[in-house]
Amino acid sequence: MDCVVDFGKFDVRNYAIMNIKQANNILIIRFSSLGDVLLTTPVLSAINRVNPGAKIDYLIKTNFVVAIKYHPHINNIYEFKKEEKISKLTDRLIENKYDFVIDLQNNFRSRKITSRLNIPFVRYKKPTIKKLLLVKLGINRYKEIIPIPQMYANPIEGISLGDDSLLFNYPETVTSSLSKSDKNIAFCVGAKHFTKRWPADYFIQLGIKLIAQGYKVNLLGGIDDIELCDYISANLPGALNLCEDNNLYQVAANMKACDLVFCNDSGLMHLAVALQVPVIAFFGSSVKEFGFAPYNAKNTLLENNSLSCRPCSHIGLSSCPKKHFDCMKNITSDLVMEEFQNMAKNL
């Protein structure tokens, strides 16, 4: 089992406190990013199901508070700010008298925080060695594909995810101008790294085919996606550019009005899943083994399994190391349209 259980200075006979059913005040630690944070939400649902009386607080970077601000099972949100010293932060947290900490970040800072809190905790263990073997040497030690939410849940005694899905809530006052009666399709064309992006020209080719069949194409994204969305919009007559300046709630409202989302392996892919909007996702340099495939959702995942150079990275790269980028280029718009037509029969 990928987990670490640490009792600090506590006697091992206190193991019963590690069972989540007996915890009263719980702190979850996950600093970033959008997708990773959304992938923790099934764990929150599972905890609430077995222990609805527990108070769950969440420690997260300021930039990503928006991802969980309206989560129904979170009591308090604590922002981890760059300028704040860990000692000062933990002094604030100690006042809450937590009896259990769940570290789903597992980096230097989160380990330092759990150490200073000095209470029982469990920690998500990243499959670092397996990733390195697969990326660097092409050696696959993944005996099974375990979704990230399950990896998060594994170390927590007493919970089971079951059918829990990702969850994202936003204010009811945020609405979309898109009509649900239209055949709305969303294109989420961005991703942090180049090797995780399906080519913009391919999105244009796909958009032409969809618009010809009466679908309305809507471009969604944040500030980092504006340039890509502007390019596609300029070359795809009929597309509506709804790219927002990092207004995640508006992106979510627009996405919710769509029948399906075409997306890369990105935070917006997980947002669509959390909103229960079907997705067709493109995986280039990333692979399912890493656990980030759409979770408990209606989806089609498109990837080129014929390449020995995949995966070239577990997070993505700024360019293709082999210079051909066949992991994405071989996923043609004709192939995608065929998959979409098959999926559309069941929408």
- The full 3-state SS of 193-256, as one line of letters, equals CHHHCCCHHHHHHHHHHHHHCCCEEEEECCHHHHHHHHHHHHHCCCCEECCCCCCHHHHHHHHH
Q: Which of 136, 153, 170 is the last residue of a domain?
A: 153
104, 252: one domain: no
Please, what's the b/e burial string for 58-78 (b: 16 or more CB within 10 A of its CB; e: otherwise)? bbbbebbebbbbebebbeeeb
Q: Which helix (H) or strand (E) holds 334?
A: helix 333-344
Is there a domain that residue 172 lies in? Answer: no
pLDDT of res. 219 = 98
Residues 18 and 136 in one domain: yes
Q: Can you give the pTM of this predicted structure?
A: 0.93
Residue 179, in any domain of the structure: no
314 in the same domain as 263: yes
**What is the pLDDT at residue 36?**
98
Identify whether 321 is part of a domain: yes
State the pLDDT at residue 18. Answer: 52
Domain that holds residue 302: 184-344
SS3 assignment for 125-140: CCCHHHHHHHHHHCCC
Q: What is the pLDDT of residue 302?
A: 98
Given a cut of 50, the residues of the chain with pLDDT beneath it are 1-17
Which of 153, 171, 198 is the C-terminal boundary of a domain? 153
* Three-state DSSP class for residue 337: helix
What's the domain count of the chain? 2
314 in Cβ contact with 131 (< 8 Å): yes
pLDDT at residue 64, as a whole number: 97
Q: Do both 219 and 327 map to the same domain?
A: yes
Within a domain: 175: no
Give a yes or no: residue 294 inside a domain. yes
Specify the amino acid at residue 197: R
42 plus 137 within the same structural domain: yes
CATH of the domain at 98: 3.40.50.2000
- The answer on 188 and 332 residing in a single domain is yes
What residues form DSSP beta bridges with 121?
Answer: 6, 101
Asked whether residue 45 is domain-assigned, the answer is yes
* Domain assignment present for 161: no
Say yes or no: 97 and 199 in one domain. Answer: no
- CA 17 from centroid of its chain's CA atoms: 30
Identify whether the C-beta of residue 28 lies closer than 8 Å to the C-beta of residue 40. yes
* Any domain includes 168: no
Q: How far apart, in whole angstroms, are the C-alpha atoms of residue 197 and residue 264?
A: 6
The pLDDT assigned to 308 comes to 95
Tell which phi-psi region holds residue 97, choosing left (phi > 0), alpha (psi between -120 and 50) or beta. left
Same domain, 7 and 124: yes
> How far from chain centre, in Å, is Cα 123?
19
The answer on 102 and 41 residing in a single domain is yes
